[in-house]
Amino acid sequence: MKVCETNFMQGFIRLAADGYAKNWHELNGGNLSYRMTAEEVDEVREALDFTGEWIEIGASVPKLATAFFVTTGSGKFFGNVARAPKENLAIIEIDAAGTNYRIVWGLVGGGRPTSELPSHLMNHEVKMIATNGAHRVIYHAHPANLIALTFVLPLEDAVFTREIWEVMTECPVVFPEGIGVVPWMIPGGRDIAVATSELMKTYNIAVWAHHGLFVSGEHFDRAFGLMHTVEKASEILVKVLAMGGKRQTITRENFCDLAEAFEVTLDEAALGEK
Ligand code: 13P
Ligand code: ZN
């Protein structure tokens, strides 16, 4: 089986194309990673090259030791992934200590995995533990309306969550646990990775102020869907603010009724005082 024809690779490639079509990936903006199953590794093992050098991750992820990931390349464009997956993507293997990786497939012509690899891997580790292995996709994009809101809304988890919940009724059903907010930080390093993965213990969505959004999901559709939902709600909120602000809205009581009807537990802090 050719690597690019596998289901997981097709899912990866489709998300990259769909995200690009949404205008969330200017130039090399954004990155994506997927934790492969053991069966998927076996499916492509013959096509993998295990002679590459081990490289430091820049973070320690012992729970991900010996795991394999598909990841976008640093400086590579989402818009080029479908046309040339082998040039723009890599499969990487994590070493037995969880501190180094090596490229076993892809990035033909040279390159490294995304500069946000420490964030991706630390988040994968946190979400794998928190979901008993269910979450496999971490996705980062630069959606314009969400970024615009980070210049206007207070950079606080509860406020941000409530504002996004309020503009689209199904938001609290999709992410009842809310949204975390990371203040502006230098991209690509360990610090932003630590801050994001701390929030991901609670949330599946983390805002990077003045930069973009990080989401975690079980599969590509869920991760893309979360990105889509938050960005669509952000677009509505930007329009509402541009029209002079809310004149009526969904109330705390409405949210409580919604939670009961959909059997979800809403984050108390975002729900606010009785
Ligand atoms: P990479 O090209 O290294 O993935 O960086 C893009 C980005 O969005 C950084 O946050
Ligand atoms: Zn980015």
User: What digits encode the pLDDT tens for the residues 25-76?
Assistant: 999 999 999 999 999 999 999 999 999 999 999 999 999 999 999 999 999 9
Nearest to 217 by CA among 129, 134, 157: 134
Q: What is the pLDDT of residues 121-139, one digit of tens each?
A: 999 999 999 999 999 999 9
Q: Write out the DSSP string of 204-222.
A: SEEEETTTEEEEEESSHHH
- Which run of H or E residues covers position 94? strand 89-94
Atom of ligand 1 nearest to the CA of 30: 8
Atom of ligand 1 nearest to the CA of 142: 8
Centroid of ligand 1 to alpha carbon of 240 (angstroms): 31
The pLDDT, as a whole number, for residue 103 is 98
- Provide the Cα torsion 218, 227, 196, 72; round to 10°: 80
183 CB contacts (<8 Å, ≥6 apart)? 155, 195, 209
pLDDT at 207 over 90: yes
- For 172, half-sphere exposure in the C-beta direction (CA atoms, 13 angstrom radius) is 28
The pLDDT, as a whole number, for residue 273 is 86
Residues with CB under 6 A from ligand 1: 28-31, 72, 74-75, 114-116, 140, 187-188
H, E, C per residue of 164-192: HHHCCCCHHHHCCCCCEEECCCCCCCHHH
Residues 150-178 have a mean pLDDT of 98
Closest-CA residue, ligand 1 atom 4, reads 114
Q: How far is CA 138 from CA 50, 78, 152, 216, 218, in A?
A: 25, 15, 26, 5, 9
- Ligand 1 pocket, mutate which of 25, 89, 114, 210 (most atoms under 8 A from CB): 114
Centroid of ligand 1 to alpha carbon of 212 (angstroms): 11
Centroid of ligand 2 to alpha carbon of 114 (angstroms): 10
What is the average pLDDT score of the chain? Answer: 98
Q: What is the pLDDT of residues 258-274, one digit of tens each?
A: 999 999 999 999 999 88
> What is the Cα–Cα distance from 113 to 102, expressed in whole angstroms?
10
- Ligand 1 pocket, mutate which of 20, 26, 31 (most atoms under 8 A from CB): 31
The pLDDT, as a whole number, for residue 274 is 84
Among all bound ligands, the one having the nearest atom to the CA of 192 is 1
Atom of ligand 1 nearest to the CA of 112: 3
pTM of the model: 0.98
The pLDDT, as a whole number, for residue 189 is 87
pLDDT at 166 over 80: yes
- Ligand 1 pocket, mutate which of 74, 87, 211 (most atoms under 8 A from CB): 74
Instruction: Match 């200017």 to its residue by tokens.
Output: 26
Residues 94-120 have a mean pLDDT of 98
Residues 74-96 have a mean pLDDT of 98
- Pull the structure tokens for residue 141: 């994009």
Nearest to 126 by CA among 56, 214, 186: 214
Catalytic residues: 116
- Pull the structure tokens for residue 124: 């994968």
By the 8 A CB rule, do 269 and 157 touch?
yes
Instruction: Match 């640093």 to its residue by tokens.
Output: 74
